[in-house]
């Protein structure tokens, strides 16, 4: 097993990149905003563009304060570390990013246990949460935090309904637990549900947005919460090496994304629906109906693994990502046009046949 990614040099030029919404390239307008950014030393508190981004995201998510971080993974781990003490237990969905995709940071660095809750589409209900709550004893790990993911990535990009988010947060609070929302794609949910992100996040003590997914920025996540929480979170930001210098160059891209790339997420969702509808007509592909920009599908009935199917597509310049076994994901974002969706569908028909 090697940890470093292979140097990606496709034999065929990439024509449609459905591999991930992280692979968007900064637009010319975004690059111009970055080049023009006023900067300082973020770590020393003197970068005005970073402060402008923090103020704007905190207001947009209805929280008192915010901090800029290099990545969403760091936002999750800073939040867990700030809310919890080593040995504490976090309750989250069993497919949660913190459990499946952060290289075990919750135990390697943060020192918490994550207890996975079951439920369809990456969501759990109040009954599942209630049944996982233990009565305090010196034998069991202290339960400290409930975490939700909006949208649920491995849940198929599904949106937690706003009232379920509210009910889960209320249940957590009634049991004395704090709450954290992994809002990597919260703005996709805002656009899809028509429910403001601040309303969805209202019951949560902390919440963050990832700017490198559908928003199209090259780096950065913004973590929000109470002023006291963000103050304490700075210790972990510093400790993990997440305190930056001329961070304004990156923050300017994020501000640009808030101005130009939020409403257009609806186009990605429409393209996802069009892709899924077309894929449903391809013999052998089983498609999960998308709610946002992620289209998960199963290749079992083509007789191919997801990897074999993805390799056939890659050979003609169409990239999708392999989840595991026969499960794969196609991801819509600002570098995929409606015409490219048609091109991808044509390639899938050939690859499946
Ligand atoms: C991408 C993602 C993250 C991590 O964000 P990075 O910026 O890649 O570190 C966390 N949670 C979810 C749900 C994600 O999709």
The pLDDT tens digits for 38-47 are 999 999 999 9
Res. 336: pLDDT tops 90:
yes
Residues 295 and 340 in one domain: yes
Cα separation, 204 vs 170, in Å, equals 9
CA 173 / ligand 1 centre spacing (Å): 25
**Report field, pTM of the whole predicted structure over 0.75:** yes
Which SS3 state, helix, strand or coil, does residue 262 take? coil
Ligand 1 proximity of 153 Cβ (cutoff 6 Å): yes
What 3-state DSSP class applies to 350? helix
What are the start-end ranges of the H helices in the chain? 28-35, 48-61, 72-83, 97-100, 105, 126-132, 162-174, 186-193, 197-200, 227-239, 248-260, 265-280, 306-314, 338-352
With a cut of 90, say whether residue 9 has pLDDT above it.
Answer: no
Q: Are 156 and 149 in contact (CB under 8 A)?
A: no
Q: Residue written as tokens 């703005």?
A: 187
| DSSP label at residue 301 | G
Ligand 1 test: best mutation among 69, 74, 101, most atoms within 8 Å of CB? 101
Q: How confident is the model at residue 1 (pLDDT cuts 50, 70, 90)?
A: confident
Give the structural domain span for 80.
28-259
Q: In what order do the strands lie in the sheet with 294-298?
A: 286-287, 294-298, 327-331, 321-324
Same domain, 85 and 166: yes
Q: Are residues 170 and 113 in the same domain?
A: yes
Strands 89-93 and 143-149 come out as parallel
102 close to ligand 1 (CB < 6 Angstrom): no
CA atoms of 206 and 226, how far apart (whole Å):
8
Q: In angstroms, what is the span from residue 338 Cα to ligand 1's centroid? A: 26
Same structural domain, 218 and 333: no
pLDDT in tens, 212-263: 999 999 999 999 999 999 999 999 999 999 999 999 999 999 999 999 999 9
Atom of ligand 1 nearest to the CA of 96: 13
Residues 135 and 280 in one domain: no
Half-sphere exposure of 122 (CA within 13 A, CB side): 24
Q: Does residue 269 share a domain with residue 251?
A: no
- What percentage of the chain reaches a pLDDT higher than 90? 97
Cβ 184 under 6 angstroms from ligand 1: yes
What is the C-alpha to C-alpha distance for residues 55 and 293, in angstroms, rounded to an integer? 27
Is the pLDDT confidence value at 17 over 90?
Answer: yes
Do 61 and 144 have their domain in common?
yes
Domain end marker among 241, 259, 277: 259
- Which of 217, 237, 259 is the endpoint of a domain? 259
Terminal C-alpha separation, the chain: 33
- Is 220 part of a structural domain of the chain? yes
Angstrom distance (rounded) from CA 247 to CA 48: 9
Do 269 and 228 belong together in one domain?
no
How many CA atoms are closer than 13 Å to the CA of 60, on its beta-carbon side? 21
Give, for ligand 1, the residue of 22, 71, 72 to mutate: max count of ligand atoms closer than 8 Å to Cβ.
Answer: 72
The CATH number of the domain holding residue 285 is 3.90.1150.10
Based on the fold, state whether residues 254 and 346 are members of the same structural domain. no
Domain boundary at 259, 293, 310, which?
259
At residue 183, the 3 state secondary structure works out as: strand
Establish if 325 belongs to a structural domain.
yes
- Asked whether residue 6 is assigned to any structural domain, the reply reads no
| Ligand 1 atom closest to Cα of residue 97 | 11
The pLDDT value recorded for residue 175 is 97
Same domain, 218 and 285: no
Angle at CA 71, nearest 5°, toward 232 and 8?
160
Name 225's bridge partners. Answer: 65, 206
**H/E element, 207:** strand 206-210
Is the CB of 154 inside a 6 Å radius of any atom of ligand 1?
no
Say if residues 151 and 189 touch (Cβ distance below 8 Å): yes
Rounded distance between C-alpha atoms, residue 247 and residue 97, angstroms: 26
- 99-113 pLDDT per residue, tens: 999 999 999 999 999
In a domain, 255, yes or no: yes
CATH code: domain of residue 240: 3.40.640.10
Residue 7 has pLDDT above 90, yes or no: no
- 210 has pLDDT over 90: yes
Domain count along the chain: 2
Q: Are residues 200 and 281 in the same domain?
A: no
11 pLDDT exceeds 90?
Answer: no
In a domain, 136, yes or no: yes
Q: Which residues does 34 contact at the CB level (< 8 Å), separation at least 6?
A: 26, 249, 250, 252, 253, 256
Domain assignment present for 19: no
Distance set, CA 187 to CA 121, 160, 248, 294 (Å)? 18, 12, 22, 14
Q: What is the mean pLDDT of the chain?
A: 97
DSSP track, 15-81 = SEE-S-GGGPPPPHHHHHHHHT-----GGGT--HHHHHHHHHHHHHHT-SEEEEES-HHHHHHHHHH
Provide the pLDDT for residue 10: 80
* Pair (148, 273) in one structural domain: no
Q: Could you tell me if residue 41 is inside a domain?
A: yes
Structural domain includes residue 240: yes
């Amino acid at each position: 097993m090697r940890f470093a990614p292979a140097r990606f040099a496709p034999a065929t030029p990439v024509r449609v990149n459905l591999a991930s919404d992280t692979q968007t390239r900064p637009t010319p307008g975004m690059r111009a905003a970055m080049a023009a950014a006023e900067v300082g030393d973020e770590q020393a508190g003197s970068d005005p563009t970073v402060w402008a981004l923090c103020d704007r995201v905190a207001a947009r998510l209805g929280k008192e304060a915010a901090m800029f971080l290099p990545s969403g993974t760091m936002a999750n781990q800073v939040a867990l570390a700030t809310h919890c003490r080593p040995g504490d237990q976090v309750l989250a969905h069993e497919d949660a990013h913190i459990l499946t995709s952060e290289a075990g940071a919750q135990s390697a660095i943060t020192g918490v246990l994550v207890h996975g809750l079951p439920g369809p589409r990456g969501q759990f209900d109040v009954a599942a949460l209630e049944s996982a709550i233990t009565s305090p004893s010196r034998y069991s790990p202290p339960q400290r935090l409930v975490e939700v993911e909006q949208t649920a990535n491995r849940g198929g990009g599904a949106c937690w309904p706003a009232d379920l988010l509210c009910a889960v947060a209320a249940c957590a609070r009634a049991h004395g637990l704090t709450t954290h929302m992994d809002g990597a794609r919260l703005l996709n949910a805002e656009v899809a549900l028509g429910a403001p992100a601040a309303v969805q996040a209202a019951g949560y003590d902390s919440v963050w947005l990832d700017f490198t997914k559908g928003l199209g920025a090259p780096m950065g996540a913004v973590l929000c919460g109470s002023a006291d929480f963000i103050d304490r979170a700075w210790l972990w930001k510093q400790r993990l090496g997440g305190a930056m210098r001329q961070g304004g160059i990156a923050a300017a891209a994020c501000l640009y994304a808030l101005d130009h790339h939020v409403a257009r997420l609806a186009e990605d969702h429409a393209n996802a629906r069009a892709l899924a509808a077309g894929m449903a007509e391809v013999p052998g592909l089983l498609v999960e109906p998308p709610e946002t920009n992620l289209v998960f599908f199963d290749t079992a009935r083509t007789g191919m693994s997801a990897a074999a199917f993805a390799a056939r597509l890659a050979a003609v310049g169409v990239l999708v990502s392999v989840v595991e076994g026969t499960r794969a994901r196609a991801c819509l974002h600002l570098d995929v046009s409606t015409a490219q969706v048609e091109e991808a569908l044509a390639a899938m028909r050939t690859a499946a046949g």
